[in-house]
Amino acid sequence: MSTSQVMWEGVAPTTQDPHEIGWYIESADEDVYGPVSRRTLRRFLAEDVISPNTLVRHCTQPEAVPAADQTFLKEKPPEAEGVEEASLFDAEHNSGALDEARGLVVGDRLAATWPKRTRDQEALAGDSLPCAWHNRPATLVCVRCHAPYCNKCRARPFGKQFFLCKRCQSGIHNRRFGALILDNLILIYLPTILVGVLLGALAESLDPKMTLLLNGLLNIVVLSLIFFRDSLFGGAGIGKRASGLRVVQARDGTSPLTFGQGILRWLSQFIPIFNLYDAIVPFRDPLFRRYGDRWAGTRVIDTEKKLQKDRAKIARRLFKKRGVQLPGQFGMTMEELARLS
């Protein structure tokens, strides 16, 4: 029995569809409009503001596809829907007409129709799903924590289409920063101090050349620890492990990074000043990449345990405070998100 069947039979009447909100529309003029609710999207289609082959993307999906091919738009709520719309999506019986319509209709009237005022834009975006944190309609759904969230909870700048809510976007960034500091403390300062103390104690009996050699060795050990700290321990060094993070290859989104990638992604950290800039870049990147991650083809994502824990927390909050339940699985996984470029 599928989730939708359960929903229809009223076994879980509070389960709501996350696809009710959070749609982006890619206009023929290359601008992206949205987010809008599914209701707005259907109205736009009915009023020819957009055409069946206008590209639309749900905020939890990786790619935009023609509105006519969007399965989530085809799913009908139990209440009666317009007959016109139903025939538009009824590809089986109407494929010829649809193809014809696609061939003819290429443009859209978004530029002329899209409201200028923020409040009017928000009215197009909200429906019955509430924000997990604010007492107002949600406009998007977070790929990471699965929370529906309002415009107050959107990561900025608004022009970028973030996959994560502001909390998750900054949360991942802060945890990475914390992991970096922890790693620096444990892998650089701690050994340096320990060896420093040891050398100091042995200074009397040691040859100065020997001291120099030991210092050099220490530098090599510390450097390789920093370079390989994540790849040595299956994708997560001490700091990342403590923060519930792991480094994966963007190639498949699951394999831990290689030694080579460990070096590449840390090169940027050895360029003075740029390293500071690079450390805060993930905050504003929808795929939360440092430049090091771009060069090495790596992504930093949650460990499965941390992810499930945070999702469960949000699900409890939604149910208790808003009486809302979302399906356990929807949208792309974090691994799929890690594969995007």
Binding site for Zn ion (CB under 5 A): 131, 133-134, 142, 144-145, 149-150, 152-153, 165, 168
| Helices 208-232 and 190-202, packing angle to 10 deg | 160
Q: How far apart, in whole angstroms, are the C-alpha atoms of residue 185 and residue 249?
A: 26
Residue among 50 and 172 whose Cβ is closer to Zn ion: 172
Least distance in angstroms from the C-beta of 41 to Zn ion: 22
236 with 305: CB under 8 angstroms? no
Judged by DSSP in three states, 233 sits in: coil
Q: What is the dihedral of CA 226, 228, 232, 234, to 10 degrees?
A: 100
Q: Which CA distances in Å does 336 have to 143, 165, 246?
A: 10, 17, 15
Residue among 36 and 50 whose Cβ is closer to Zn ion: 36
Least distance in angstroms from the C-beta of 163 to Zn ion: 9
Residue among 133 and 227 whose Cβ is closer to Zn ion: 133
Least distance in angstroms from the C-beta of 61 to Zn ion: 16
Residue among 25 and 334 whose Cβ is closer to Zn ion: 334
Least distance in angstroms from the C-beta of 24 to Zn ion: 17
Least distance in angstroms from the C-beta of 104 to Zn ion: 41
Residue sitting closest to Zn ion (CB)? 142
Sequence-distant (6+) residues with CB within 8 A of 2 are: none
Least distance in angstroms from the C-beta of 138 to Zn ion: 7
Residue among 152 and 251 whose Cβ is closer to Zn ion: 152
Strand partners, 149: 140
Least distance in angstroms from the C-beta of 314 to Zn ion: 7
In degrees and rounded to multiples of 5, residue 10 shows phi and psi of 80, 15
Alpha carbon 141 to its chain centroid, in Å, reads: 10
Handedness of CA 31, 37, 41, 46 (dihedral sign): negative
Residue among 110 and 172 whose Cβ is closer to Zn ion: 172
Residue among 152 and 160 whose Cβ is closer to Zn ion: 152
DSSP conformational letter for 306: H
Which stretches of 3-134 are DSSP H helices? Answer: 3-8, 38-46, 71-74, 83-89, 91-104, 110-113, 118-125
